[in-house]
Amino acid sequence: MTDFSANDHTTHEAGMGDYFALLKPRVMSLVVFTALVGLLVAPVPVHPFLGFVAILCIAVGAGASGALNMWWDADIDAVMKRTVGRPIPSGRVAPGEALGIGVALSGFSILLLGLATNFLAAGLLAFTIFFYLVVYSMWLKRATPQNIVIGGAAGAFPPMIGWAVATGGVSIESLLMFALIFMWTPPHFWALALFVKSDYGRAGVPMLTETHGRDATRRHVLVYTLLLVPVALGLGLTSIGGPVYMAVAVVMNAWFLKGAYDIWRRDDAACEADKHRVEIKVFKVSLYYLFAHFGALLAEAALRLYGFGGWSW
């Protein structure tokens, strides 16, 4: 007689870490940062504890949409090298569990955000989860190479939710914060797609680099970066902008635009020759770009506390 074995593959039980991985913690960190900025730059002060609960709800809501995305895209994830280790394709979490966690956390975060702050913010959070799961994951992702353009809206909502938590409304400032992330996502993502060998094609997901070629992708990076510039500078002219933000925006936009122009001028031979040096650099610049813009907004809000910041002093 032997001890009964409960650790074979058929009876594997997920640990807390596996469930946490379902929530895409790295995506969550960007959501938390931008939502926090949206909340802190708003002209209405929020009680620190209510602010903490609001950010927690937004983070949990984003995590829930990540879990629902992993549930829906488990077939794609199982094919691609980058995602094959995720909890569902690796067999650590059952698809039904991911669905249950996603639905439960969505409901929990929306309801608690509504009760703790206001129902406009809760409604925006609900719409974000709906947009990411239904519009992006279920509909666009497998249908069009422009998936990232429209789908990027899901990642752009957090500062708008943060703003709504504080003010209970939507305004030009929050719309421009949304537009900044929305317009930033395509060039950021396509710069990455230009140097990472992906297996999206094998998984049946249309990616611009594969459907329209790398030259078309380079053109897209430049055009979307050009469209991004007026949005970033325009945000600086609103009540949450100011000289500090404007200085950062001018420098970062010139840097990003120069990178996009350099990408546009290159061809595949040049990319192979220097192992995508420019594309990798522009991708890094795009990360600094977003962090610098939201950081500058935060700096303006901090200066305003001491009577500086904004355009009025």
Kindly list the residues in this chain that would bind another protein in the complex (CB under 8 A): 1, 3, 6-7, 13-16, 47, 49-50, 53, 56, 112, 115-116
Shortest spacing between CB 7 and another protein, in angstroms: 6
Shortest spacing between CB 288 and another protein, in angstroms: 34
Which candidate, 110, 218, 97, places its Cα nearest to that of 165?
Answer: 110
Shortest spacing between CB 50 and another protein, in angstroms: 6
Task: Give the residue with the Cβ less far from another protein, 97 or 279.
Answer: 97
Which candidate, 56, 213, 76, places its Cα nearest to that of 142?
Answer: 76
Task: Give the residue with the Cβ less far from another protein, 20 or 291.
Answer: 20
Shortest spacing between CB 17 and another protein, in angstroms: 9
**Measured CA distances, 239 to 51, 101, 169, 198 (Å):** 21, 40, 15, 42
Let me know if 44 is exposed, middle or buried by CB neighbors in 10 A (0-12, 13-18, 19+).
Answer: exposed
Shortest spacing between CB 57 and another protein, in angstroms: 10
C-alpha Rg value of the chain to the nearest Å = 21
Task: Give the residue with the Cβ less far from another protein, 14 or 297.
Answer: 14
**Cβ contact 154:65 at 8 Å:** yes
Task: Give the residue with the Cβ less far from another protein, 3 or 272.
Answer: 3
Which candidate, 138, 136, 139, 234, places its Cα nearest to that of 183?
Answer: 234
Task: Give the residue with the Cβ less far from another protein, 50 or 99.
Answer: 50
